[in-house]
Chain A
Amino acid sequence: MSIKDTLFALSGLDSAGNLTEAADKAYSMLKEYVKTEKGPNLTVTGFLKGQTDYTLMIDAHIDQIAMVVTGIDDNGFLTVAKSGGIDIRSLPSRRVTVHAKEKITAVFCATPPHLSSKECEYKDIADIKLDTGLGKKAKDIVSLGDYVTFSEAPKELLGNRVSGRSFDNRACVACVIETVKRLSDKELPFNVAFVLSDGEELGLRGTRTATFKINPKEAIVLDVSFGDGIDIPDTDCGKLGLGGMIGVSPALDRKISDKLIFLAKENKIPYQIEAMGAKSGTNADMISVSREGVRTCTLSIPLRNMHTDVETLDLNDLENVCRLLCEYVLSGGVMNA
């Protein structure tokens, strides 16, 4: 399976809260190559044994943004709450999946033309009802707390560009699975724990407990970061297709950043620097302060339209992240630094 096929397979499945589809699929993919554990929650962990007790943890969250049903009226319209950051301005007339007793397609209400006004304000997702089209029957099928997810299928754009839902962070999950595949028959200088963690979109929760359990010496966090686009300042984003973004920040381990940059240069792997003021807003913020502290760095994939149905990326960046990760592991990371 190519990285693209893995990404498309995982993007088409949903994992948030009790939706385990994507996590189950990732588990079955990983376990073909390594010893793999499930749980708690959506977390999936694969282990590669190395020649020392030193452990590197590679983290990519597997959960996605979603919504949760908080109200059901008599006419089949639902009220939802956000589970992760969503641009509510783009919801009206959007088709989504309600993960009820059965999967239902529903459409967010849009103001009809004869009632629309230019001054419309979008303040609260609770104001935008979700139309199941089921009328009274909705109450028999939908329950409070059911998850609602975007429903766009992944698709190819020109060149190596692709678009779809939940590329944040299935792009990185696909990189983890590909990296495991490439390293599984190699002699490794240390143990590597590949953690597909839960609850990132709700505040970096899942990796907190996973890191405690694994107790790594160092960690690399794979996540997506802002890709270039119209009206997005160059200083706030990475360019699609120019390689993974190596994090450099006071809150990250500079030795790992430097080693990644060194390896990228030496092996002619395209890369970009993502310099940040302090916190990265990724699982790295949580992992680095676990137990007695963990050397942690980020390696990110530039992504356009983050947290939408049409997240867009360049597959070359995924390939280059995998190459760099393999070089990093095989070179012993910063174990001897």
Chain B
Amino acid sequence: MLELLEKLCGIDGVSGNEENVRNFIISQIDGFCEWKTDALGNIIVFKKGKKHPSKKVMVDAHTDEVGLVITNITTDGFLKFKVVGGIDISALMFRSVKIGSVNGVICGKPIHLLDKKESEKLPSEDSLYIDIGAENTEQAEKYVRIGDTAVICGGFEANGDKIISKALDDRLGCAILIKLIKSYDEYDFYASFSVQEELGLRGAKTAAFAINPECAIVLEGTTAADIAGVNETDSVCSLGKGPAVSFMDRATVYDRDFYRKALDSGILCQPKRAVAGGNNSGAIHLSREGVRTIAVSVPCRYIHTASSIADINDFENAYKLAVYMLNGILSGEIG
């Protein structure tokens, strides 16, 4: 699953431009399930199992990652951009980016030319530009079109138990879901690889409508703030303590029974200890007449940056917990 994750993280798929991620996922699941894509670009999957369950369950992961979209080109050939999804300014400053196959860097004033006040405050997003080496608009336009998306570069490194990469949110979920589709075959289930989560849970809305499930399992990456300088009570979840299971975030109040069953599963996991963030559950649980939903999230430090850190054991336990919950709900043992 680690090798699969590395491949997934290496693909660029900023919200709304997720075709390469989609094509890769299709190449992985084709032959293991029935699948189709919808108008937005979601992959809707039906996986036939040995048995027909009494409940319709949908498992979801989102294919997009945060990034940038090019909005203008200056006469000097610099690219103006807007952030797609939530990214801190500090995570943009002096970073390598890629616009398709074109290399760029987010440029800025060198430290030597800043006064003290400037040097202590973040610049505004509006003051940042991408330098692709173009000397003027015409040269830049040969390689980049307005509306193209850019990713902040961050290669995949596995170091002991830890993984460092861009796009861990939510290629972790995609990798788990691909493996589920390939290897879980007790009961029939549905799945969605949803687009545009980072733009406000858009793909999941239509995917949930199409599948019309009674229950849903959302596979995610979530903020882990178990880092220096943060109080333990603010840490949300911790690396190495298993996937985080949510009772409530800013988009969803989760099914309490599912939440408790997950925590009692015997698989190493932890409650998400904050009412913060949100994920596709927000769209799915409100679909049609309502859907009982659980989110299983792999803790990620520095989420939404090109150097997120996750723990391999949490990733593996998230897979185990996903199987446990899916099988439990489908068999009627849970819920």
Contact = CB atoms under 8 A, between A and B. Distances in A.
B94 A159 contact: no
A133 B106 CA distance: 27
- Size range of the chain A interface in the assembly: 35 or more
Interface string A274-318: 000000000000000000000000000000111111101000000
B319 interface: no
A132 to B, nearest CB: 9
Contact of A226 (B74, B110, B227): B110
A158 B73 CA distance: 15
Given A87-B119, A93-B302, A114-B225, A306 B112 contact: yes
A152 B103 CA distance: 13
Interface string B102-125: 111111111111100001111100
Interface stretch (A15-23, A123-131, A188-196): A123-131
18 contacts: A90-B93, A92-B88, A93-B302, A110-B91, A113-B86, A114-B225, A114-B274, A120-B122, A129-B228, A155-B96, A157-B131, A158-B102, A159-B133, A163-B96, A163-B131, A230-B107, A236-B113, A304-B107
Report the 5 A-B pairs with minimum CB-CB distance, sorted nearest first. Answer: A157-B133, A161-B133, A93-B305, A90-B93, A158-B133
A75 B232 CA distance: 13
Given A86-B111, A87-B119, A306-B112, A312 B229 contact: no
Nearest to A240: B135
A229 B228 contact: no
Interface in B270-321: 274, 276-277, 301-307, 309
B230 A105 contact: no
A110 B302 contact: yes
Interface in A94-138: 94-95, 104-105, 107, 109-116, 120-123, 127, 129, 131, 133-134
A111 B143 CA distance: 35
A156 interface: yes
Given A111-B88, A231-B127, A307 B95 contact: no
B154 interface: yes
Nearest to B231: A115
Nearest to A308: B94
A121 B120 contact: yes
Given A89-B123, A121-B120, A158-B134, 8 more contacts: A95-B154, A112-B230, A133-B309, A158-B133, A160-B133, A229-B107, A229-B109, A236-B113
Contact of A122 (B119, B154, B303): B119
Chain A interface, DSSP helix/strand/loop, else mixed: loop
Contacts of A91: 90
B116 to A, nearest CB: 10
A207 to B, nearest CB: 19
Interface in A153-193: 155-163
A112 B225 contact: yes
B183 interface: no
Question: Max chain B CB contacts within 10 Å: which of A90, A112, A123?
Answer: A112
Interface in B171-199: none
A155 B78 CA distance: 18
A112 B299 CA distance: 12
B96 A133 contact: no
Nearest to A159: B133
Contacts of B274: 114
B111 A85 contact: yes
A8 interface: no
B237 to A, nearest CB: 11
Nearest to A232: B109
Contact of B105 (A93, A122, A133, A310): A310
B223 interface: yes
Contacts of B304: 113
A307 B236 contact: no
B120 A77 contact: no
A241 interface: yes
Given A93-B91, A112-B225, A307-B111, A163 B103 contact: yes
A122 B307 contact: no
B291 to A, nearest CB: 26
A37 interface: no
A134 B240 CA distance: 12
A148 to B, nearest CB: 14
Contacts of B34: none
B326 interface: no
Contacts of A152: 96
B228 A307 contact: no
Interface string A186-228: 0000000000000000000000000000000000000000101
A112 B122 CA distance: 16
Contacts of B103: 155-157, 163
A73 interface: yes
A309 B94 contact: yes
A226 B114 CA distance: 13
Contacts of B74: 230
B139 interface: yes
B257 interface: no
